[in-house]
Structure 1
Amino acid sequence: MPKITSYTPAWLSKPSPGHDLFTAAPSSQSLSATSKKASRPGPRRTIAYRGVEVFIAVGKEIRWADLVYLREVWEDKEQKKRSFPKGRGGDDNFEEGHAQGYRTIKVPVADDIKQLIISPSDNYLAILTTHTVHIAVLPESSHLTAPDTGPLRLKTYTLGPTTHVTSQSGVASALWHPLGVNGTCLVTVTNDAVVRVWELSTADRWSFDRPTLAIDLQKLADGTSLDEDFGASVSGMRRGFSADSFEMEVASACFASRGSGGWSPMTLWIAMREGDVYALCPLLPEKWSPPPTLIPSLSVSIVAKDAAMEDDPTMTQKDMLLAQQQLAWMSDIDIQEPIQIEGNLGEAPAEVYMRPSKPGRVPKLQGPFDFELAPQQSQDELDGLLSDIYVIGTKMDADELMDGEDDDLEKEENQEGLSMSVVCLLMSSGRVSICLDIDGVEAQWLPKMKSKVTRYVQEEDAPTLVTFHALDTTRETEVWEGNWPMFSPDCTSRYSFYVTNTSSVTFVSLSSWAFGLERELSEGGQGTDFRVDLLAKQWSIRERIHTQKMEDHSAPLAACAVTYDPDLGYLLLTATSYGPVAVFFDPPEVEFELFGRERSPTYDSDLDKPLILYHPRPVYEPAHALEISSALPSLLDKLKHGKYKRLLQEEVRLSAATLTIMTDAHKLLSDETHKLGTAAAELFRRCARLQQDLRSQIQKANEIASRVETVTGRDVEEGPAKSSDELMAERIKAAQDRQQEITTRIEKLRKRSTKGTSRELSDKERAWVEEVNVLNTKVFGGGEENRSSRAQSKEPWARYEMIEQVNEELMEQMRDLSGGDEVPSSPIVKVPSEIRKVKMGQVMSLLDRESALVEGAKNRLEKLSLS
């Protein structure tokens, strides 16, 4: 789990401009208005990032700000306040000469904005209400520092002006297709299970009016042939009631990431509100742009599968038809010549393919999936209602794909993890079910009308998902019928995410078992079943990040958004209608990998981290009820202009009209006084807790001070005062002496333990000792007795002594012949110089050889004795 370093900073708290970005106008707030209007249950994703820029939806407008600029402006203002004395300030001049770093964006929407989704290329923003979708072209960052600080109006397109309207079914999810050309393909899924694919182009306004592909999942679920019409009804909503309209109410949908392997990037997963899960594969736009490794990996797997089926006589006709359909689909791609188009800024050119026309453009709807090893059904209805789905695709094994090839394919992201998809389901009760797609979802199509296997379509077994873990993210007191939990991906790992409920944010990590499970499945070996069972019993990491009290259900937390930037840090940001909630974490260990940079060899992360002597906790903020105005004046104004205005000027009399006025006033005042009392009680508890925290901080400070004095030696009051250097030197000297003493004691104990052992020698050790003794006897001799007895055996030591004796005799003869130091003018014995040189060379070579043998034997014996 990432370590929390701080909570909502001062530049996002009151009264800074960063706090006002998340709140509505004060004129629209009152004590009574906040509790009357309850929002309809549904996803609320009102925060989106573009680097360090953040977009926040507040009501019917969007706030846009640069977080780094806001922080720097606030720090500069605080520095100005500290620099100038009281009564003199440079804040006014500073505000006039500098931009604020935030703007308000006006959007032509008729209802409150519920979701903001930024395209992968960061140039489009999908704006969703409950029924409508608008596409806005995002402005340049320079508008944030422009002199003009007024509201900004963007170029906005209405998506499906006759499709996504209030008279039709609501929009459940809007997803940017991971294989869209430069991130311009949007997929919308409505509550009535209709999937539409929009290929957007600002040069073609018709691309915003009609989708290029529309699929009615309720028709597709009952379909038996590709020749049927599965398009969405043009007339509008369906008439009448059917079981499918109730069981196939969509809760959420999602794709896996673009860098996933296999069929994952083109598989749309749909979670139904009643608990069913479906998959639609392959779902592609007319023009799509795959990553470099996708088509080669699919081609290898399809060809290998087709070859295996030809050699296997047990394959059914349905399996053979599926292999033929996939082969036809891949053959249509292989004959295409991809078009090279310019990619996004900083990216390589993209290859664009056309969607294969064979076997068909509408895939088969796979599902509903059966859940194996699922937990027992709960009696709580919210445990069976799905609210969101999150899929982690399979890893792309590029190394195995390019085995034996000279070229290397470019990897778009970290390819580590499981070779199977992980499907995470989130219930309205806050329970997370982590499922494994063991079989793997592959591309499937319905057969032709005249196909022989049409009758087997209805008889096939349903696909399955294995439930690996199930964990709760909410407490029993936090669950209520309007709760709609949501997933938020983490920017540092594929196998970690955040769950946002109405009143809490929880971190979940699957890395504790995902990598170990993949290692066991790939390597295998003895004991694999036992180790896999241990991994299955090992729970995922789950930690509560933030919790707020459930005082008002009308102000739920928005889905948290996570980002990491070197200038901003590792930040989690969420918000209510009353203000933001920010949590800063320690920078991840893979920070340089995230930005494609290598770490310097001399980099030391510990030098940049300050010493933290406290546990971070959120700063207390007064309850919202203490700040908003009362609704009593508006009630009195209403009575003055109503039919009871005469009663306000007369004495109080017992009547039905007086009872009505008193009842209305009592309802208003009871609600307001209850909220004020709760806020005051919370303030009192916080004040009492502040005293406890202050005592705890003082106690910790005293403990640290005493430890520092103990280290420096200042805790000793007797004797003359000594400097810190002297005290530190004495402590170091004492530590060194004690270390030397401990080392000496350990050495003595080691020698004593070796002497105390009476273990008998093994056969190999006895043979080795005997060999050493024999060698010692041959080289150095075995005493005078052995010398006399073995003189005739020509041992090496005897030969060496004889050679030395011969050498001395020859040297004496040479001195005698030379006549001392003088060299005679002519030799007495006339021996030819050639013969003399040859004989002397032979003698010297023999001497060198014997000397080398003896020295080698001595060195070997010395090594054996030392070892």
Structure 2
Amino acid sequence: MPKIKSFAPGWLNEPSPGHKLFEQSADDSSASTAIKYGKKAKPGPRRTIARRGTEIFVAVGKTLRWGDLAYLKESWETKHSQSGSGARIKRENSDDSSDYDIVGHATDGYRTIKTPVADDIRQLVMSPNQDFLAVLTSHTVHICMLPDSSHLYARDAAPFKPKFWTLGPTTHVTSRSAVVSALWHPLGVNGTALVTVTEDAVVRVWELSTADRWTFDSATLAIDLKRLADGTSLDQDFSASVSATNKGFSPDAFDMEVAAACFPARNSGGWSPMTLWVAMAGGDVYALCPLLPQRWAPPPTLIPSLSVSIVARVAATEDDPEASPEARLLAQQQLDWMSDLDNQEPKIVEGSYGEADLEVYARPTRPGVIPRLQGPFEFDLNPEDEQDDEVELKDIYVIGEKARLTDLMMGEEEELEMDDDEGTGLSLTVICLLSTSGQVKICLDVEGVEAQWLPPKTKHRSKPFTAPPSTPALLTFQTFDTLKPVEVMPEGWPMFSEDPTSRYSFYITHPAGITYVSLAPWVFRLENELEGDSEAGAEFRIDLLVKGHGSERERIYTQARGQSSLAAATAIRDADLGHFVLSATHNDPVALFFDTPEQDIVLRESPTATLEHADLPQPEVAWEPRPLFHIPEALDRRSAMPTWIDHLKTGRRRPLMHQELRLSMATLEVFTEGHKVIASEVDSINDAVAQLFRKCQTLQEELRKQIAKANEAKKKVDVITGEDSADESPVSQDELVRDRLRQVRERQEELTSRMEKLKRQLSRATSRELSDKEKAWSEEVRALKSSILGSEADQKPGSTPKAKQPWKRFEEIKSLRDALFAQAEELQRSRDGTGNDAPASPTPGLRIPAEVRRQKMAQVIGLLDRESALVDAVKARIERLSVG
């Protein structure tokens, strides 16, 4: 759901130049006053705002106004920041007063366009390439060739006069039926094909060319749907009658009174881009497929996808022996249509505004130019409490099925270029119907509308009568109301408006306000069920989907009672302007600015992003946006009393104005007429004053709420700054935080000491077994002890140790040392001749050199030192182990 951030900004409010785009001039207000007491205008759709980028075209009465919203916003903000609020109050001393008070409205970014229309403009329809603008009154259609924006940026008080063409000067006139819808064909070459639908169910296709004036005078194709509904063969004449329309009563004229028509988007799949959906006021829905101009430019994927589906249909009918003759005829007609298309060599036409080149085809003539009228559609699962006889449709909005590019590109190496949203969505066409009571009916085309033609004329008249084809049906998925019973107006005309952020969301403009509707909650879940391979429990899941929460809807704007009707909402998303919805009454704009939709889309499609953004702290909103209050029109409307007095002075009762008042029938008649005029004005003024009084009371309540919220915010600030206590000295926030940290540290130290005490008590109170590491360590200590001190097993008889123990080796070394010392002493004594029995001269063989003796002694001492160090190290290790 879009979240409203603010309503009409200052650059669209009075006295800014942006407000002059919507306010009514003096001529228009006097004309509306005259209409009020004269012939009442016929109700119809009011689409008086068209968009071209940041530029908008607004129809007010018979005039057309142009404005660049981005320029108006920037210039207003610049002047507001420079001059300040005081300079705007004292405008007579300001140099910028001419921008607000000049009669001709000579302001940059704003211009008045003069039109040749003779009645109030009802609808503005922008062409796909934004170079033509269709201007519709109740009965006439005018085509405006839009100039470049550079020609409109000029400070000129004179109205701008662009090139206008009258479409069908002998066709769309006041003596003929009213024009209900004007649609630019999605497959027209560079957006030059226009389809008009009149109230008497006549569809005309116009292929416009600025180089040929004749293209604006006659339509290339005209189809009378009433004749086509009763047609039996292709050879019949279904063109509209050139003579004046028959005003007599006929059942077809009553049942086939057109309320609205619609084309799906160009990037839709299947036959959708060439299918015209027509909604009748009585509640019936018809489809006309294929409806094409003489020259048409399909998207790159349209013809290949249709070729695949037609070939599959022909193969299925040929392989099915039980296929009906009607199915075989339809498959053959579609094959003839595609064969005619395949035999053509497309003409390459340069695209407009830097787009890719277009392949232009001629409309196939086989099996026929005029298709079969499919309908009226029956509504399956229609609510039982709904009375179809009482439903009066006002508008239709069709969302085409998604392009099935996966089947088309199966087995292909190259990938087609496509938009981000192309190929995503629902594989069924969604038809949305809107009635006078504000009821919205969401229907699904389960069977799928395909191209159909009437059968050819048979040569044998004696052919038996064939049964008519089965009646097509639409599945009613959901029905809901957007208006309360007290808000329903019989003369109201609700309208659909598309949403640029999503193809499955739209806006509904009705007399009571604007409602936002989104089909996204169930569209993608339903598509997952349709594409799923598992059929187990599919019926149960779809039943839960249908009975669960359906479309999201929210009233985003409520119109005050007694105000003029709203223009169809125009949704705009621009980097400079933001995301907002623009509408207008007869005097004032209505704008609703939303939060950036990209964030909402990311949160909707990514669950992880939802979790990440959910933890972010959101700032508190100290105020809630509310609609701008406009003064009721009755307080600004000119009184009709002076006009009535002028008529009285020049009428047949003028002698009464110059004589004394007398009681007579003529005087009573004059007073009765005057009372009617005054009573109508007094009632509207009373309602306006009551509305103003209620608004003043509401403002008082809102002011109290604002004061309460301001007090709450002040208390929070005082608590943060430490100024919440008046008796005690103020304490800074830093000191409060430090004191809190100190208390936390003390508490942590206390808990740590208690935990250590408990651990010690627990270790003393419980005895547990040794772990594997502790057991291994004890075995190592015992082994070292036995290796040094010896063990009882070594002293047993018959035990042979594998290696000498260190203490045994130590004893052996000591004995060797003593023996060596004894030998050394004996040799020394024999050398010195201390003994009597020693020979006088020793024998040469027993003499040991001094160097050898010293070396041997050094070796013995080294060995003794090593053994001593080894014994000391072992003793030290044992002492450490015993201490540990």
TM range (shorter): 0.7 to 0.9
CA distance in 1, matches of 2:527, 2:224: 37
- Say whether 1:91 aligns with 2:96: yes
CA contact (8 A) 1:80 1:90 kept: no
Please state how far the C-alpha of 1:13 moved relative to its aligned partner.
Answer: 2.2
For residues 375-402 of structure 1, the C-alpha deviation after alignment (integer angstroms, 9 at most, x for no partner) is: 2354696x41111111000011323422
For residues 25-49 of structure 1, the C-alpha deviation after alignment (integer angstroms, 9 at most, x for no partner) is: 2355369657435331221111111
- Equivalent in the alignment of 1:563: 572
What amino acid sits opposite 2:190 in the alignment?
Answer: N
CA distance in 2, matches of 1:678, 1:115: 30
Structure 2 counterparts to residues 415-454 of structure 1, below 5 A: 415=422, 416-450=424-458
- Equivalent in the alignment of 2:70: 68
For residues 409-432 of structure 1, the C-alpha deviation after alignment (integer angstroms, 9 at most, x for no partner) is: 111450321100001111111111
Q: In the superposition, relative to structure 1, how do residues 480 and 89 fare at CA in structure 2: closer, same or farther (>3 Å)?
A: closer
Q: In the superposition, relative to structure 1, how do residues 9 and 55 fare at CA in structure 2: closer, same or farther (>3 Å)?
A: same
For residues 346-367 of structure 1, the C-alpha deviation after alignment (integer angstroms, 9 at most, x for no partner) is: 3111111121222222111111
**Which of 564, 571, 594 does residue 585 from structure 1 map onto?**
594
CA distance in 1, matches of 2:518, 2:492: 23
For residues 454-508 of structure 1, the C-alpha deviation after alignment (integer angstroms, 9 at most, x for no partner) is: 9676422101100000111111112232122111111111111111112321111
CA distance in 2, matches of 1:562, 1:574: 9
What amino acid sits opposite 1:387 in the alignment?
Answer: K
Structure 2 counterparts to residues 200-219 of structure 1, below 5 A: 200-219=208-227
- Say whether 1:182 aligns with 2:182: no
Structure 2 counterparts to residues 122-271 of structure 1, below 5 A: 122-238=130-246, 240-271=248-279
**Which of 485, 500, 509 does residue 476 from structure 1 map onto?**
485
Q: In the superposition, relative to structure 1, how do residues 487 and 468 fare at CA in structure 2: closer, same or farther (>3 Å)?
A: same
What amino acid sits opposite 2:399 in the alignment?
Answer: I
**Which of 366, 372, 384 does residue 376 from structure 1 map onto?**
384
CA contact (8 A) 2:65 2:113 kept: yes
Please state how far the C-alpha of 1:71 moved relative to its aligned partner.
Answer: 2.0
**Which of 521, 532, 549 does residue 542 from structure 2 map onto?**
532
Moved more, 252-261 or 555-564: 555-564
- Equivalent in the alignment of 1:355: 363
For residues 16-72 of structure 1, the C-alpha deviation after alignment (integer angstroms, 9 at most, x for no partner) is: 332232232235536965743533122111111111111111121211111122222
CA distance in 2, matches of 1:503, 1:807: 111
Q: In the superposition, relative to structure 1, how do residues 650 and 140 fare at CA in structure 2: closer, same or farther (>3 Å)?
A: same
For residues 187-232 of structure 1, the C-alpha deviation after alignment (integer angstroms, 9 at most, x for no partner) is: 1111111111111111111111221212111121111221222222
Please state how far the C-alpha of 1:155 moved relative to its aligned partner.
Answer: 0.8
- Say whether 1:723 aligns with 2:732: yes
Please state how far the C-alpha of 1:169 moved relative to its aligned partner.
Answer: 1.7
Moved more, 317-326 or 371-380: 371-380
Please state how far the C-alpha of 1:452 moved relative to its aligned partner.
Answer: 9.7
**Which of 394, 405, 411 does residue 412 from structure 2 map onto?**
405
Name the SS of the counterpart of 2:597 in structure 1: coil
CA distance in 2, matches of 1:214, 1:732: 85
Instruction: Report the TM-score, using the length of structure 2 for normalisation.
Output: 0.79
Name the SS of the counterpart of 1:295 in structure 2: helix
Name the SS of the counterpart of 2:598 in structure 1: coil
Q: In the superposition, relative to structure 1, how do residues 379 and 270 fare at CA in structure 2: closer, same or farther (>3 Å)?
A: closer
CA distance in 1, matches of 2:317, 2:751: 72
For residues 803-830 of structure 1, the C-alpha deviation after alignment (integer angstroms, 9 at most, x for no partner) is: xx99999xx9xxx9xxxxxxx9xxxxxx
CA distance in 1, matches of 2:751, 2:594: 43
Q: In the superposition, relative to structure 1, how do residues 609 and 259 fare at CA in structure 2: closer, same or farther (>3 Å)?
A: farther
- Equivalent in the alignment of 2:639: 630
Q: In the superposition, relative to structure 1, how do residues 643 and 289 fare at CA in structure 2: closer, same or farther (>3 Å)?
A: closer
- Equivalent in the alignment of 1:59: 61
CA distance in 2, matches of 1:308, 1:510: 34
CA distance in 2, matches of 1:807, 1:519: 84
- Say whether 1:2 aligns with 2:19: no
Q: Which has the higher contact order (CA 8 A, sep 6+)?
A: 1
- Equivalent in the alignment of 2:347: 339
- Equivalent in the alignment of 1:619: 628
- Equivalent in the alignment of 2:108: 100
CA distance in 2, matches of 1:333, 1:380: 41
Q: In the superposition, relative to structure 1, how do residues 32 and 188 fare at CA in structure 2: closer, same or farther (>3 Å)?
A: closer
Moved more, 74-83 or 728-737: 728-737
**Which of 302, 309, 312 does residue 301 from structure 1 map onto?**
309
- Equivalent in the alignment of 2:514: 505
For residues 739-787 of structure 1, the C-alpha deviation after alignment (integer angstroms, 9 at most, x for no partner) is: 99999999x9xxxxxxxxxxxxxxxxxxxxxxxx9xx79x969979x99
Instruction: Report the TM-score, using the length of structure 1 for normalisation.
Output: 0.80
- Say whether 1:388 aligns with 2:398: no
CA distance in 2, matches of 1:532, 1:334: 41
CA distance in 2, matches of 1:338, 1:255: 24
- Say whether 1:514 aligns with 2:540: no
Q: In the superposition, relative to structure 1, how do residues 643 and 254 fare at CA in structure 2: closer, same or farther (>3 Å)?
A: closer
For residues 838-863 of structure 1, the C-alpha deviation after alignment (integer angstroms, 9 at most, x for no partner) is: xxxxxxxxxxxxxxxxxxxxxxxxxx
Q: In the superposition, relative to structure 1, how do residues 371 and 234 fare at CA in structure 2: closer, same or farther (>3 Å)?
A: same
CA distance in 2, matches of 1:397, 1:297: 8
Higher Cα radius of gyration: 2
- After superposition, the CA RMSD in angstroms is 3.9
For residues 88-142 of structure 1, the C-alpha deviation after alignment (integer angstroms, 9 at most, x for no partner) is: 4232477799843111111111222111100000000111112111111011112
Q: In the superposition, relative to structure 1, how do residues 286 and 606 fare at CA in structure 2: closer, same or farther (>3 Å)?
A: farther
Name the SS of the counterpart of 2:81 in structure 1: helix
CA distance in 2, matches of 1:239, 1:34: 25
CA distance in 2, matches of 1:351, 1:393: 22
> How many pairs align?
762
Q: In the superposition, relative to structure 1, how do residues 245 and 88 fare at CA in structure 2: closer, same or farther (>3 Å)?
A: closer
- Say whether 1:550 aligns with 2:556: no
- Equivalent in the alignment of 1:852: none
Q: Which runs of 5+ in 2 are unaligned?
A: 603-611, 758-770, 784-801, 814-851, 853-884
CA distance in 2, matches of 1:807, 1:568: 98
CA contact (8 A) 2:233 2:455 kept: yes
- Say whether 1:109 aligns with 2:123: no
Q: In the superposition, relative to structure 1, how do residues 417 and 19 fare at CA in structure 2: closer, same or farther (>3 Å)?
A: same
- Equivalent in the alignment of 1:464: 473
- Equivalent in the alignment of 1:39: 41
CA contact (8 A) 1:492 1:590 kept: no
What amino acid sits opposite 2:292 in the alignment?
Answer: L
- Equivalent in the alignment of 1:121: 129
CA distance in 2, matches of 1:440, 1:689: 52
Q: In the superposition, relative to structure 1, how do residues 4 and 208 fare at CA in structure 2: closer, same or farther (>3 Å)?
A: same
CA distance in 2, matches of 1:655, 1:389: 57
Name the SS of the counterpart of 2:398 in structure 1: strand
What amino acid sits opposite 1:20 in the alignment?
Answer: K
CA distance in 2, matches of 1:718, 1:188: 80
Moved more, 361-370 or 611-620: 611-620
- Equivalent in the alignment of 1:662: 671
